[in-house]
Amino acid sequence: MAHQKQMLASIFIAVVTSGLCTVLCLAEGKKVELRRDYNVKPVPFNKVRVEDNFWTPRLDTNRKVTIPYAFSKCEETGRIRNFEKAACLMEGKHEGIHFDDSDVYKIMEGAAYSLQVHPETMMRLYLDKLVTIMDAAQWDDGYLFTFYSVPEKQPEKLWTNIQWIHEQYCVGHMYEAAVAHYQVTADKSFLNIAMENADLICNTFSPGKRTDPPGHQEIEIGLCKLYRVTGDEKYLDQAKFFLDQRGRKGNRGPKGNGGLYGEYSQDHKPVTEQTRAVGHSVRAAYLYTGMADVAALMGDMEYVEAIDTIWKDVVDTKLYITGGIGAAGGHEGFGSPYELPNMTAYCETCASIANILWNHRMFLMHNDAKYIDVLERVLYNAALSGISMKGDRFFYPNPLQSIGQHARSPWFGCACCPSNVARFIPSVPGYTYAYKNNDVYVNLFISGDVTIETQNNKVKLTQKTQYPWKGTVNISVEPEKSDTFAIYVRIPGWAQNQPVPSDLYKFHQAGHEEATLKVNGKRLSLSTQNGFACIDRKWQKGDTIEMDLPMPIRRVIAHPNVKADRDKVAIQRGPIVFCLEWPDNDGKVLNLVIRDDAKLRTEYRPDLLNGVMVVIGEAQVVKRTNNGDIVPDRDKQFIAIPYYAWAHRGRGEMTVWPARRPEAAQPEPADTLTYRSKTTASFVHVSLNAIKDQILPDSSSDSSALQLDFWPHKGTTEWIQFEWGQEHEISSVKVYWFDDTGRGQCHVPKSWKVLYRDAEGNFKPVNNDSPYLTEKDTFNKVSFKPVKTDGVKIEIILQDEWSAGVQEVIIE
């Protein structure tokens, strides 16, 4: 333990011994002096010029489409009007959700970033107009939150429901936006609004006064940014104060009940005692990001120990192969260890962005490439999936499997994800490079150039690459003056047989080709330090680095504890995780098995999905026989596309984890009487087909295999009918009921009966010799005197207060 403390202490030593570290305030050229900060410094996005086949279109789309589109949605949905009403420019009630202000701030932050790279007068004027409205909407004491400002100010309501109303979350985003706006425009008007508000917060929440931590973290990150730009330590102290109140009872709320918010808000114990990632995943990752910032700025080792432990918990047991986090939709958050379901995966887009923010800070703190490995995985997969290619359709959850129920949406009532994308995409270039003293880091591979101002030099690097499709990266190096320093080039974990920095996923077979590195055409023997190839030499203008990362197609296998991925395989090539989607595979993908010996190849398709590499191979279609066995039926070519590019061609089946053994596939159903029937129902909620797909649920409450239910009908009489073109002799019907008591509103029915169609075409009850049971978690079989019929009807009477549903039906 003592050794660990010592090791941790060394993280900040470089900073402490080199004295004060300075942050250049872009706008005024004035330097704000901070006592310490991250060991490694990021190179801000605006220093990085991107000219890249993959990223330039994304950045352009965000600037030309997503940001204006998101602002127009804010206009349309009343988010801007709320500010206008609060500024007394118009009258009316508050529109939308109480924390909608945050969306406007996030898009403003993105717009400011975008302006820095592409100055556009109209966008600048629009931002200035919003700042003027916000200035008018701000109360004299600095308070700014439209929900309590319209139709008139409600001072008695302030800070009365910090757990759920999110005043602090909203203004945290305001601080981030205001800092960005100031750095880009040199205009202090928005920053002044933020500082006045932060001053109010500092006066309201302090020892001896109110001690409530925010219900939703974010303000901690914003306060650290305010501190960095102003140098005023009270903002930093306030961030730490909020972090330290978590998990501690105190003076919370006017009612003084002092209750903790619990695990959902990471408020179950003090942050320094937390060891597992729990609760709402966006809240959690913003918390860990804020802890990293405060730790770096204050040298708090206890925070570092806590987030190191929590990071390991996530990477060991709670990270999707796409880099997404948050397994469960119910609380939008982390599940138990290894609980990583695919179809119901939550993987909120905001959580992916938060995971990137957090891992970037972990890298800056520890200068270890494993954090960039995680960041890159999230970036190219889970995060990019959140936004459509055209930039105006969004995913909130990003599942890893679909049967057609998922599609990107133009907007959401709770629009946290679209607005987060709008600010995140322009910041992507900022993750590419970093420096420490005179040494520079190349973290991501994006064509373009950068000039890095190191301690004693200016180093221009120019990257040329076709990443992520090709692994060759050429970097030309032009230091202003020739000097000896190190260039650390990240060798991705996936190029060293380690898809993630844990045993949660592994490549099925180790790759034998190794990454190679040449300087001025001469090959270097590659040894890595913390995941970086360190090239420490005297650099001069005209020097070149040539890296080649072999990109074979890799099969990924999950840890055996991940039940959802057992006997399944994921496909990865370079940083890209692939998926099988219906349009490329004749409509179905869940019935396919990719055997371990199936040959795979890649093909670049310039005309598909804005140009993607696809993986093509042989799969087997599996089928269920009449006696229930699952057997290969025929071979078929499959095509896999990058996961981020799915859901652009309509709804249908998709999977990131196709089966590698027949048992894990969803076989084509056996040719049974039930399957062959023409099936209709009085009402369909979820899926009619689910009752004859021959996929049995684990229990009546299992909704993963889908069901037919009659919700929201309650107390009604419903029916399901099965018809054939000819007569069959039938003597039994088995029904497996759907019942989600405790979670939903379906219970087993009050009663049911089976009818058959007689020769005159009338439905008559069968003559049953066993009772009509309504037991859960099993088939309820009714046998009857055999009938010859071309139609069977099941009549179901629902309980008065409840709906009902059916998982599976077997007619024999």
Q: Which residues bind Zn ion (CB under 5 A)?
A: 348, 350, 416-417
Q: Is 702 exposed, middle or buried (0-12, 13-18, 19+ CB in 10 A)?
A: middle
For residue 318, the minimal CB distance to Zn ion (Å) is 18
> What is the distance between the alpha carbons of residues 548 and 554, in angstroms, rounded to a whole number?
17
For residue 339, the minimal CB distance to Zn ion (Å) is 21
Neighbours of 776 (CB within 10 A): 15
Closest CB to Zn ion among residues 106, 692: 106
Closest CB to Zn ion among residues 84, 103: 103
Residue 81, SS3 per DSSP: helix
- Contact criterion met (CB below 8 Å) for 189 and 135: yes
User: Phi-psi region for residue 332, left (φ > 0), alpha (ψ -120 to 50) or beta?
Assistant: left
The residue at minimum Cβ distance from Zn ion is: 350
Closest CB to Zn ion among residues 66, 700: 66
For residue 219, the minimal CB distance to Zn ion (Å) is 17
Closest CB to Zn ion among residues 193, 417: 417
For the chain, the straight-line distance linking the first and the last C-alpha, in angstroms and rounded, comes to 67
Closest CB to Zn ion among residues 416, 787: 416
For residue 427, the minimal CB distance to Zn ion (Å) is 16
Closest CB to Zn ion among residues 37, 348: 348
C-alpha angle with apex 492: 316 to 61, nearest 5 degrees?
Answer: 100
Residue carrying structure tokens 């960005």: 180
- Contact criterion met (CB below 8 Å) for 126 and 108: no
- Contact criterion met (CB below 8 Å) for 145 and 167: yes
Closest CB to Zn ion among residues 277, 354: 354
What is the DSSP track for 693-738?
S----SSTT--TT--EE-TT--S-EEEEEEEEEEEEEEEEEEEEEE
> What is the distance between the alpha carbons of residues 580 and 597, in angstroms, rounded to a whole number?
18
- Residues 6+ away with beta carbon under 8 Å from 317: 337, 338, 504, 561
Closest CB to Zn ion among residues 416, 622: 416
**E strand map for 424-569:** 433-436, 439-442, 448-453, 458-465, 472-479, 483-490, 505-507, 516-519, 522-524, 528-529, 532-539, 543-548, 554-558
Residue 191, SS3 per DSSP: helix
For residue 386, the minimal CB distance to Zn ion (Å) is 8
For residue 419, the minimal CB distance to Zn ion (Å) is 8
For residue 102, the minimal CB distance to Zn ion (Å) is 10
- Picking from 356, 400, 346, the residue whose alpha carbon sits closest to that of residue 379 is 356
> What is the distance between the alpha carbons of residues 245 and 222, in angstroms, rounded to a whole number?
17
For residue 635, the minimal CB distance to Zn ion (Å) is 42
For residue 350, the minimal CB distance to Zn ion (Å) is 3
For residue 251, the minimal CB distance to Zn ion (Å) is 31
> What is the distance between the alpha carbons of residues 334 and 327, in angstroms, rounded to a whole number?
5
For residue 286, the minimal CB distance to Zn ion (Å) is 11
> What is the distance between the alpha carbons of residues 766 and 796, in angstroms, rounded to a whole number?
15
For residue 416, the minimal CB distance to Zn ion (Å) is 3
Closest CB to Zn ion among residues 214, 658: 214
Q: Is 559 exposed, middle or buried (0-12, 13-18, 19+ CB in 10 A)?
A: middle
For residue 137, the minimal CB distance to Zn ion (Å) is 24
For residue 332, the minimal CB distance to Zn ion (Å) is 8
Closest CB to Zn ion among residues 84, 348: 348
Neighbours of 152 (CB within 10 A): 11
- Picking from 327, 404, 339, the residue whose alpha carbon sits closest to that of residue 690 is 404
Neighbours of 289 (CB within 10 A): 25
Closest CB to Zn ion among residues 200, 219: 219
For residue 418, the minimal CB distance to Zn ion (Å) is 8
> What is the distance between the alpha carbons of residues 722 and 674, in angstroms, rounded to a whole number?
7
- Picking from 611, 654, 580, 685, the residue whose alpha carbon sits closest to that of residue 407 is 654
Closest CB to Zn ion among residues 428, 613: 428
Closest CB to Zn ion among residues 424, 752: 424
- Picking from 446, 443, 394, 437, the residue whose alpha carbon sits closest to that of residue 418 is 394
- Contact criterion met (CB below 8 Å) for 325 and 280: no
Residue carrying structure tokens 């808000």: 265
Closest CB to Zn ion among residues 396, 802: 396
SS (H, E, C) 448-471: EEEEEECCCCEEEEEEEECCCCCC
For residue 242, the minimal CB distance to Zn ion (Å) is 21
For residue 226, the minimal CB distance to Zn ion (Å) is 23
* Tokens at 434, concatenated: 């970093």
> What is the distance between the alpha carbons of residues 85 and 95, in angstroms, rounded to a whole number?
10
Closest CB to Zn ion among residues 8, 350: 350
Closest CB to Zn ion among residues 297, 350: 350
Closest CB to Zn ion among residues 340, 416: 416
For residue 349, the minimal CB distance to Zn ion (Å) is 6
Q: Where are the alpha helices (DSSP H) in 552-591?
A: none
* Tokens at 358, concatenated: 């957090």
> What is the distance between the alpha carbons of residues 416 and 410, in angstroms, rounded to a whole number?
13
Closest CB to Zn ion among residues 417, 622: 417
> What is the distance between the alpha carbons of residues 146 and 703, in angstroms, rounded to a whole number?
40
